[in-house]
Amino acid sequence: MTGETGLGMVAADAAAIPLAARTRGLRKVYRGTVAVDHVDLDVPMGAVLGMLGPNGSGKTTTIRMLLGLVMPTAGEVELLGHRLPDGAAAALPEVGALVESPGFHSFLSGRENLLRLAAAEPHLHSGRIPAAVSESLERVGLTGAANRRYKGYSLGMKQRLGLAAALLVPRRFVILDEPTNGLDPAGTREVRSVIADLHAAGTTVLVSSHLLAEVEATCTHVAVLNQGTVVAQGELAELLDSGNAGLLITTPEITLAVDALRDNRIPARAVPDGVRADLTATTAPAVVETLVRAGVPVHEVRRDRTGLEDLFARLTEDGAAAEAAEFDLALPIPEEAR
Amino acid sequence: MDRKRTALTVAAAGTATGVVGLILLATPAGAGEQPPALPEISPEALVESVIKTEKIPAMSGAVEFTSDLGIPVPGLPQAGSGGEAAHVYTDGEGRARVSISQGGSERTIVHDGTTTWMWNSADRSVQKMVSGEHEKKTAEHKLADPATAAREFIGLMGKDSTITVDGTARVADRPVYQLVLTPKPTERTLLREVRVAVDSETRLPLRLEVLANGQAEPALRIGFTDFETGAQDASLFTYTPPAGAKVTESKPGDHKPSEAELKEKQNLFESIDGKTVGEGWDTVLVGKVPAELLTGEVKSGERGTTDPSRLLKQFGKEVSGPFGTGYVISSKVGTLLVTADGRAALGAVPQQVLVDALGAK
Amino acid sequence: MTAMTLGEIQRPDARRAPLGRLLRSELRMVLRRPRTLILVGLLALVPVIAGIGIWIAADASANSGNSVDEGLAGLVDGNGLLLPVFALVIGLNMLLPLTGAMLAADALAGEAASGTMRTLLLAPVSRSRLLAVKAFGVATVTLFVVALMAFTGTIAGVILLGGDGMMTMSGTTLPLGEALGRILLTVLLVTVQVWALAAVALAVSAWTEHPLIVVVVALGVVILSGVLSAIPALDWLDPVLMTTSWMGIPEVIRDPLPTGTLTEGVLRAACYIVIGYSLALSRMLSRDG
């Protein structure tokens, strides 16, 4: 019943990939404003899908419809094989979610807040509640602050508690809307490790984010939203390959390097600290071998990290949107705060 | 979407149920029903059966009083806010209990056969009268008993009236005959007619309505809103004054007014202690008004009472005539004339009849 | 952060959390909210303060020899078992409706504003179930507050004002057992009336995310029906106004008990409860989480 079988099936038959979530023709109109339109989203079982998009692109609205919180104006949603909204009772117990800013009672402690949510969890046996809550707090590193009032929590602690609530029970599908919002670098790393653990256990994960690096580091799949529609989706590797993959080589002998690569029919050009080699027709080891043979001193070789950013910029059509996403790195703003 | 339709259905069904419930609560029982079919009866036979029925059977009933006189009248019970104005119980053997609620206070009158107890919650007083017949019934007490009030009225007015039976109706969910008394043309009165609803079974008047000239709605209405015959709990007709109540004892003849009744004395209507002039519809009550009432010397600081002299000036019109000068207060059903020298005349008549009555003195 | 293991699921086929567990959790939460606690404390003090006030006033009037007082207040002196009834009637003027409105406001609008309603919906708790749980919370806490007022009122009344049995407004004396029965009846009647207002408030609460709006609208309903019932020309409206039932509550200390008026009050409240809850349910089913 878990994602492990799902993963196996992905490999076995790509034509009929089991999906953790699927939307068709999703449309939502808020008082005359179209928030989301024609969204056909597929979340493969066992995948870690990163949902990207500039602010106001419809990420949160899509997630809210995926969870049955918001009724779509048109279109259909399938969650773990159950049609929403009727199948919500069957699907939601197996789904953990952190949507928008975490919602807790400020006058209760973190533990009490979780106890309250645990009481509402269909899959949790009453006798298991205290243990499940403690484990969940432990998992997000809040054990020390568990008995403090939520009111006194920092933004990061609130976010962690939200994560703890989403992971109160083992889930088949976990949806995290901006999980690293407000977290310090250490917290961000921990979230990444949680996502990796979930992935390893076969859980399907959907992460919405505007932090491209985070998506690139943790996701197997990507869906890019812009202006309320999905402009691209698929496996991360495939999408990146469709873009312009490259290798950045730091070297003092820039001219020598460019010449050596071009002699071997590898497109290359000079960049500030070295050379950028195009990987469309070759592989990284081939590039390095060519340079070493030509006697070029190679100080550092790395993948051109701008791949997803380029892709994102191209898909969202205007560079300003990508810049806005970049800007959010420094100033996290809760998306689509309604 | 399906859920939206469900939501609308739920809202519509629930709201409709609640609103219908509220409307049913607001609809008096029996409204809109066909008048009951009862055997024909001649007015004479009906009147006779009413006057003969002196004995009230064991019953309990709620009485409501409404008035639309055009001016506030102190001393008359107002319609209770959202409730009955009075509740009457009798055992058919002469024992009775009457509860009258007035604003936040209540009066209970219990007649246990030999003793009459009158409780007033406003000052926690109990007045005890050892006598089979207590002569001094208060105005409220009389009004609280529509059966007696209507029967007395029919007896008094019968010969000066044209009496008809105007079909049937339902009062307090019981089938009744509508007996209508219209003043004979020679009567000089403000009233157009008096309607008495007579219970078809017990022949007790269940409701009395007084209609003034030119008014569609009754100016006065007193009647049962609930009426049930049957044996009553005997404990209703015994009374033990509560601890801490002021109990005053009096025998008929040396009527000692209680504190609350003293207060009541300031009410103009109660203070006119006099005789009647004329008979029938144009009967006029003529008497003397205690002088201190007119000069306003009586302290009227207490809540719930009205200074009569101020009331006269507020609602009255200054008039003069053969009686000297004075004030006249007109309402839809009656007129009151108070002269400067302390004489007063009251009746359900135009002002001129009062002037004549005073002049006849 | 440790990886989670599958197989911890205890009730894998359950689609709903046990109702009793939800209700307990709701009550625990409501009774820990500081706002609720402050209001509960204040309301519990109302009968005590009223009792002390009457006690002092009685002393003063005993000196001046004048104790004529209209209505309920005048009967309470030396008649301590009436104090809880008096306090509840006073409370129904403003404080109890305010409590009902505030509880209803926090129940849905407050939870929507803080985002806690969303987390519950995701657990998942179905929308109709969530409304039922919330309605239960409001109703239970209301009953608790009213019963608490009656309790402190009875204690304060017996200690401060004394009295043997209960002297009714009709001038009869009820023995202790029957007097306590009347107090209990008052508790139930007052609770039902507060439920009616809370149901209307809950309907408003389902429509908004601003708890203050709920309180304002609910108190507006109370004030408006008070004004309407005070206008003689609109007397025909009285039977449908919520406050009509409230004004009938003091009837409970008449003897014999005027069951007609009191039953009518309960029925009227029931109508408002049906209207309020159906509107609230309707909105809960269609609102965005």
Q: Which residues of A touch C124 (CB under 8 A)?
A: 68, 88-89, 92-93, 120, 122
Q: What is the pLDDT of residue C281?
A: 93
| Residue extent(s) of CATH 3.30.70 domains in chain A | 246-303
Q: C167 falls in which pLDDT band (50, 70, 90)?
A: confident
> How would you class B321 by CB atoms within 10 Å of its CB: exposed for 0-12, middle for 13-18, buried for 19 or more?
middle
Cα separation, A236 vs A220, in Å, equals: 5
Q: Could C68 and B123 be called an inter-chain contact, meaning their C-beta atoms sit closer than 8 Å?
A: yes
pLDDT at C288: 79
Instruction: Examine residue C148 and state whether it is found in any structural domain, yes or no.
Output: yes
Interface contact C266, partner B, CB < 8 A: no
Q: C130 vs chain B: nearest CA distance in angstroms?
A: 15
For residue A85, say if its preceding peptide bond is cis, omega within 30 degrees of 0: yes
Residue C272 has pLDDT above 70, yes or no: yes
For residue B1, which residues of chain A lie inside 8 Å, CB to CB?
A: 71
Q: What backbone torsions phi and psi does residue B266 show, to the nearest 5 degrees?
A: -75, -15
Q: How far is B91 from B87, CA to CA, in rounded Å?
A: 14
B156 vs A137, which has greater pLDDT? Answer: A137
Q: Is the peptide bond before A334 cis (omega within 30 degrees of 0)?
A: no
Using a CB-CB distance cutoff of 8 angstroms, which residues of chain C are in contact with residue A186? none
- What is the rounded average pLDDT of the residues A198-225? 86
The mean pLDDT of A142-170, rounded to a whole number, is 91
Asked whether the beta carbons of B345 and B354 are under 8 A apart, the reply is: yes
- B335-339 and B343-347 strand pairing: antiparallel
Q: What is the mean pLDDT of residues A48-70?
A: 88
When mean pLDDT is compared across A187-191, C24-28, C262-266, the lowest value belongs to A187-191
User: What's chain A's length in residues?
Assistant: 338
| A–C CB contacts, 8 A cutoff, strictly below | 135
Residue B60 CA to residue C107 CA, distance in Å, equals 46
Show residues of chain C in contact with B104, CB under 8 Å: 70-72, 250
In-domain check, residue C111? yes
C3 belongs to a structural domain: no
Tell me the CB-side half-sphere exposure of residue B85, using CA atoms within 13 A: 22
Report how many domains make up chain C. 1
Measured CA to CA, the distance from residue C142 to residue A72 in angstroms comes to 37
Confidence at residue B294, expressed as pLDDT on a 0 to 100 scale? 59
Question: How much is the pLDDT for B356?
Answer: 82
Q: Residue A305 — very low, low, confident or very high, per pLDDT cuts 50/70/90?
A: low
- B236/C256 touch (CB, cutoff 8 Å), yes or no: yes
What pLDDT is stored for residue C222 in this prediction?
93
Instruction: Give the Cα separation of B122 and A82 in Å (integer).
Output: 70
Which residue of A27, A70, A71 to mutate against B (max B Cβ within 10 Å)?
A71
Query: What number is the average pLDDT over the span C78-102?
Result: 92
Mutate to test the interface with A, among B1, B4, B5 (most CBs of A within 10 A): B1
Q: What is the DSSP letter of A169?
A: S
- C8 touching A (Cβ < 8 Å): yes
Chains in touch with A (3+ beta-carbon pairs under 8 Å) read B, C
Of the candidates C68, C268, C279, the beta carbon closest to that of B259 is on C68
pLDDT score, position B71: 63
Chain B residues within an 8 Å CB radius of C281: 7, 10-11, 14
Highest mean pLDDT among A126-130, B120-124, C66-70: A126-130
Mean pLDDT across the stretch C104-127? Answer: 91
Residues in chain A with CB shorter than 8 Å from the CB of B3 are 71, 85
Q: To the nearest whole angstrom, how far is the Cα of C133 from the nearest Cα of chain B?
A: 18
Residues from chain B contacting residue A85 (CB–CB below 8 Å): 3
Q: Which of B11, C18, B5, B3 is nearest to A88 (CA)?
A: B3
- Which residues are within 8 A (CB) of A283 and not within 5 positions of it... i.e. 6 or more apart? none
Taking contacts as CB-CB distances below 8 angstroms, the residues of chain B near C69 are 122-123
Q: What number is the average pLDDT over the span A150-154?
A: 92
Give the span between the Cα atoms of A72 and B186, in whole angstroms: 82
In this prediction, what percent of chain A has a pLDDT beyond 70?
A: 86
Report the pLDDT value the prediction gives residue B72, as an integer from 0 to 100.
58
Q: Is residue C6, in this structure, part of any structural domain at all?
A: no
User: Are the CB atoms for A231 and A315 separated by under 8 Å?
Assistant: yes
pLDDT at C188: 96
Determine the average pLDDT of the residues in C83-104.
93
CA B187 to CA B190: how far, in whole Å? 9
C7 inside domain: no
**Token pair of C13, please?**
């086929």
Confidence of residue C217 (pLDDT cuts 50, 70, 90): very high
End-to-end CA distance of chain B: 87
Question: Does residue C248 fall inside a structural domain?
Answer: yes
Residue C101: predicted pLDDT: 96
Residue with the two structure tokens 């009846």: C185
| C99 interfaces chain B, CB cutoff of 8 Å | no
Q: Which residue has the tokens 């919405």?
A: A208
Show the tokens assigned to B262: 């003293």
Q: If you measure CA to CA, which chain C residue comes closest to B84?
A: C261
Secondary structure of residue B266 in the 3-state scheme: coil
Name the DSSP letter for residue B84: -
Q: What is the CA radius of gyration of chain A?
A: 22
Nearest to B129, CA basis, from B304, B249, B295, B287: B249
Neighbours of B130 (CB within 10 A): 12
Q: What is the pLDDT of residue A8?
A: 35
* B210, B194 Cβ separation under 8 angstroms: yes
Calculate how close chain A gets to B11, using CA atoms only, in Å: 18
pLDDT of residue A118: 93
Q: Closest to C267 (Cβ–Cβ): which among B6, B21, B120?
A: B21
| pLDDT, average across residues C207-212 | 93
Q: Which of A73-82, B70-79, B230-239, C104-113 has the lowest mean pLDDT?
A: B70-79
Average pLDDT (C231-257) is 85
Assign C71 a pLDDT band (cuts: 50, 70, 90): low
- C-beta of residue A27 within 8 angstroms of C-beta of residue A72: yes
Lowest mean pLDDT segment, chosen from A333-337, B218-222, C139-143, C160-164: A333-337
On average, the pLDDT of chain A sits at: 81
What domain range includes position C154? 19-26+36-53+69-286
Closest CA to C99 of C30, C20, C161, C40: C40
Residues of chain A with CATH 3.40.50.300: 3-234
Q: With b meaning 16 or more CB within 10 Å and e meaning fewer, what string describes A280-300?
A: eebebebbbebbeeeebebee
Q: Which of A278, A301, A306 is nearest to A212 (CA)?
A: A306
Architecture of the structural domain at A3-234:
3-Layer(aba) Sandwich (3.40)
Ordered DSSP codes for C219-241: HHHHHHHHHHHH-GGGGGGGGG-
Alpha-carbon distance C10 to nearest alpha carbon in chain B (angstroms)? 31
* Partner-chain residue, chosen from B22, B99, B302, that has the shortest CB–CB distance to C170: B99
- C-alpha–C-alpha distance, residues A261 and A290, integer Å: 7
Structure tokens at C253: 């200390």
> With an 8 Å Cβ cutoff, is C289 touching chain B?
no
Is the peptide bond prior to B175 cis by the omega test (within 30 degrees of 0)?
no
**Per-residue pLDDT tens for B274-304?**
677 777 788 888 887 766 555 544 444 444 4
Contact (CB, 8 A) for A105 and C29: yes
CB of A64 within 8 A of CB of A335?
no
Angle at A292 between CA A289 and CA A295, to 5 degrees: 150
* pLDDT on residue B98: 87
> Is the model's pLDDT at C81 over the cut of 60?
yes
Q: What is the dihedral of CA A137, A140, A144, A145, to 10 degrees?
A: -80
CATH of A246-303, one of 3.40.1130, 1.10.3470, 3.30.70, 1.10.8: 3.30.70
Q: What is the CA radius of gyration of chain C?
A: 22
Mean pLDDT of C26-54: 93
Q: Which residues of B touch A71 (CB under 8 A)?
A: 1, 3-4
User: Residue A334: what pLDDT?
Assistant: 43
The answer to whether position C169 is within a domain reads yes
Mean pLDDT of A5-25: 60
pLDDT tens column, A262-273: 888 888 888 877
**pLDDT-flagged residues of chain B (< 50):** 75, 77-83, 132-140, 254-266, 268, 296-305, 361
The answer to whether residue C61 is domain-embedded is no
